[in-house]
Chain A
Amino acid sequence: MKLTGAQILIECLKKEGVDLIFGFPGGAVIDIYDELMKSSIRHVLVRHEQAAVHAADAYARVTGKVGVVLVTSGPGATNTVTGIASAYGDSIPVVVMTGQVPTKLIGNDAFQEVDIVGITRPCTKHNYLVKSVKDVAQTVKEAFHLARSGRPGPVLMDLPKDVMVDRTEFKYPEAIKMRTYNPTYEAHVGQIEKAGKLIVQSSRPVLYAGGGIIASNAAEELTELATLAQIPTTATLMGLGGFPGTHPLWMGMLGMHGTYCSNMAVANCDLLIAVGARFDDRVTGKLDAFASHAKIIHIDIDPTSISKNVRVDVPIVADCKNALGKLVTFLKREKDINWKEKHEEWLAQVRDWDKKHPLSYKEEKGVIKPQYVVEKLYELTKGKAIITTEVGQNQMWAAQFYKFAEPRSLMTSGGLGVMGYGFPAAIGAQLAAPDRIVIDIAGDGSIQMNIQEMATAMEQRLPVKIAILNNQYLGMVRQWQELFYGKRYAATSLATAPDFVKLAEAYGAVGLRATKPEEVVPVIKKALKTPNLVIMEFVIAHEEKVYPMVPAGKATTEMLLV
């Protein structure tokens, strides 16, 4: 029997295991929606297409599956670009389906036509314009394969209206082989041996983990390696949760707002083992001062990440889980080594740094400190919540003061740093994990960038908790202005703002406010007890800063401290 393009599309999505689509309709995708409605796939109607991609991104992060988005042509498509670029920056598997004008009209500047394949070429792993109904099944197969394999990432399929209406015989391609795409998963044994030997020879090693740990489900292997060889461990923002935040070998995040301990350890180590990380400038600071005494082992599935910014001694192109597993096996053979003794001096030094300048903040009478709020969120959720963040100071305080115990418990726009990511991400996360507590740690600026999703969360009955750390500023920018621009606060005041409690109520949600430190715990407790969407507004110290801070372009040892 012949099926329409839209029918084939839905059949293929089911075959790919899709159970949930985030989307927003329009003329070019009515045919697809018409079929989608008849299927078992759940659709979540967002209120802005950018939010659909962020939600799908977080859904993918929590479940490990591919997040799926469906939007219309033209403005629907362009509205997804920020979401796509964010997923690309963080290597998150998302498939975005955009409607397109009929093939005959393409190139004609037709109504709601944009060249979305051209627009998203540099921010997708790959993208397709599907020009014939005969190509639909194969394209869906390839799109999902590309999104989730190798270094994951967003893939876009542009679907012209006539292609969705045309009919053809449906045959699902069970297997897939792409002759131009073959990621390397297996770590090279020779390279593992070289790496293992460097670890054996080293006396001051550091493990530096990135988002690749989460993507490849390698948290267990990472912890095993660290524990076995007694290696102090740090992680990037994207790697948080990949190593238990309460582990004795844990040093905290590194980089611009990393801990004193992590940054000192990296600067002084003689061996840096980078796993699924990419030496981003927010991590390295001034490049020639970064790990300048160290040999470097770099494990990554993407060869372009290796030796991009920093010269590497032992490159290992592989899946992190595979490579770490092999490294552990190699090191277990070294039965004569007493690792604790071997690294005793180094670990003592690391503990010293930690004691000298732990993460801290100054308490002030009568004023709520944002770090205190995050600490209490951590305590009252026993570290078990899924945390999403917006971008700015709120993001850094969340990263510093919530001790993530497990992978896939922090969702944040790391690479692109999108204000407005956190709330739609919380929606995606809550749909992926209905029984977990999901909290968006937000800023007063960022939350207004996708506030319209309150309606989505209400409609889906999602008990997401939003914790706004309200400093009445675009705080992170203000911090830079205070420190490096002579306190000239150009365009960073947010004194004019909605009443967030009333705003919550306007959507039918619950609004709570804390203005004094002693109100913080009761507000959080009340929110956690409320089986509904809640906005908690914490009116915090207006000019609180995130410390430590490495000024841009400086060596990571040149930290400004509390």
Chain B
Amino acid sequence: MKHTYSVLVENKPGVLSRVAGLFSGRGFNIESLCVAETLDPELSLMTLVTRGDEQIIEQINKQLNKLINVLKVVDVSEGDFVEREMVLVKVKAEGNTRAEVLRMTDIFRGKIVDVSPKEYTIELTGDEKKVRAVLELLRPLGIKEVARTGTIAMIRSKKTP
């Protein structure tokens, strides 16, 4: 099962390698990892996507909590949550494919952020499903390069007061 964690950590040198080392040392896998400062400059938020059976997920949760620099671990995928990822895709765009690329970008509400006579660079955001769909549709047109940020996520606010 896929799980998405929000991990609040102290913004100190070496913390990232403690988290990464925990995963590699124990044979857990990291699908994606995003880190940046929070509003409180002493803290950083990591969003971490991982996979494993129930026992492994329980261990990951506990082991993260055990790290001294970790303040809070939330499995956002336990309930209702929003997830987003941004991708930059450089695609071939020559002759009649130029229009096709533009159309696709439009359909997926992306933006063209760089143009050259032979290529377009598209910026897209969405959840994992959308990103996968876009990449699959663009692939036949000739993808030259892809850069993805990895997922960030948040629990949805309660809808009833």
How distant is the Cα of A211 from the Cα of B17 in the complex, in angstroms? 30
How distant is the Cα of A311 from the Cα of B14 in the complex, in angstroms? 33
Assess the B68–A121 pair: CB atoms within 8 A.
no
How distant is the Cα of A303 from the Cα of B61 in the complex, in angstroms? 10
Within 8 Å of chain B (Cβ to Cβ): is A118?
A: yes
Q: For residue A118, which residues in chain B have a CB less than 8 angstroms away from its CB? A: 14, 17
Q: Which residues of B in the span 57-102 have a Cβ within 8 Å of any Cβ on A?
A: 58-59, 62-63, 65-66, 68-71
How distant is the Cα of A307 from the Cα of B66 in the complex, in angstroms? 15
For residue B26, give the distance in angstroms from its CB to the closest CB of chain A. Answer: 9
Assess the A307–B18 pair: CB atoms within 8 A.
no
How distant is the Cα of A308 from the Cα of B55 in the complex, in angstroms? 7
Q: For residue B65, which residues in chain A have a CB less than 8 angstroms away from its CB? A: 303
Assess the A178–B17 pair: CB atoms within 8 A.
no
Within 8 Å of chain A (Cβ to Cβ): is B21?
A: yes
For residue A36, give the distance in angstroms from its CB to the closest CB of chain B. Answer: 27
Also in contact, A178 and B68, with CB within 8 A (given A304-B63, A307-B55, A307-B58): yes
For residue B72, give the distance in angstroms from its CB to the closest CB of chain A. Answer: 9
Within 8 Å of chain A (Cβ to Cβ): is B161?
A: no
Also in contact, A303 and B71, with CB within 8 A (given A122-B25, A308-B59): no
How distant is the Cα of A180 from the Cα of B55 in the complex, in angstroms? 24
Which of these, B14, B17, B62, B70, contacts A180 with CB under 8 Å? B70
How distant is the Cα of A178 from the Cα of B12 in the complex, in angstroms? 14
Q: For residue A179, which residues in chain B have a CB less than 8 angstroms away from its CB? A: 71
How distant is the Cα of A121 from the Cα of B18 in the complex, in angstroms? 7
Within 8 Å of chain B (Cβ to Cβ): is A513?
A: no
Which of these, B10, B18, B62, contacts A304 with CB under 8 Å? B62
Assess the A180–B58 pair: CB atoms within 8 A.
no
Q: Which residues of B in the span 1-40 have a Cβ within 8 Å of any Cβ on A?
A: 10, 13-14, 17-18, 21, 25
Assess the B66–A302 pair: CB atoms within 8 A.
yes
The dominant DSSP class at the B interface is helix
For residue A284, give the distance in angstroms from its CB to the closest CB of chain B. Answer: 15
How distant is the Cα of A307 from the Cα of B10 in the complex, in angstroms? 28
Assess the B69–A303 pair: CB atoms within 8 A.
no
Q: For residue B68, which residues in chain A have a CB less than 8 angstroms away from its CB? A: 125-126, 146, 178, 180-181
How distant is the Cα of A118 from the Cα of B20 in the complex, in angstroms? 12
Assess the B71–A121 pair: CB atoms within 8 A.
no
Q: For residue B17, which residues in chain A have a CB less than 8 angstroms away from its CB? A: 118, 121
Q: Which residues of A in the span 172-192 have a Cβ within 8 Å of any Cβ on B?
A: 178-181
Interface string of A150-180 (1 = CB under 8 A from B): 0000000000000000000000000000111
For residue A328, give the distance in angstroms from its CB to the closest CB of chain B. Answer: 28
Q: For residue B59, which residues in chain A have a CB less than 8 angstroms away from its CB? A: 304, 308
Q: For residue A121, which residues in chain B have a CB less than 8 angstroms away from its CB? A: 14, 17-18, 21
Also in contact, A304 and B25, with CB within 8 A (given A121-B18, A180-B71): no
Within 8 Å of chain B (Cβ to Cβ): is A117?
A: yes
For residue B51, give the distance in angstroms from its CB to the closest CB of chain A. Answer: 19
Assess the B21–A122 pair: CB atoms within 8 A.
yes
Nearest A residue to B62 via CB reads: A304
Q: For residue A129, which residues in chain B have a CB less than 8 angstroms away from its CB? A: 13-14
Interface string of A459-492 (1 = CB under 8 A from B): 0000000000000000000000000000000000
Nearest A residue to B24 via CB reads: A122
Interface string of A94-124 (1 = CB under 8 A from B): 0000000000000000000000011001100
For residue A116, give the distance in angstroms from its CB to the closest CB of chain B. Answer: 12
For residue B25, give the distance in angstroms from its CB to the closest CB of chain A. Answer: 5
Q: Which residues of B contact A (CB under 8 A)?
A: 10, 13-14, 17-18, 21, 25, 55, 58-59, 62-63, 65-66, 68-71
12 chain-A/chain-B pairs, Cβ below 8 angstroms: A122-B25, A129-B13, A129-B14, A178-B68, A179-B71, A180-B10, A303-B62, A303-B65, A303-B66, A304-B59, A307-B55, A308-B59
Q: Which residues of A contact B (CB under 8 A)?
A: 117-118, 121-122, 125-126, 129, 146, 178-181, 302-304, 307-308
Known: A121-B18, A308-B59. 12 other contacts (CB 8 A): A117-B14, A126-B68, A129-B14, A179-B71, A180-B10, A180-B69, A180-B70, A181-B68, A303-B62, A303-B65, A304-B59, A307-B55
Top 3 A-B residue pairs of the complex, sorted by shortest distance between their CB atoms: A304-B62, A126-B68, A180-B71
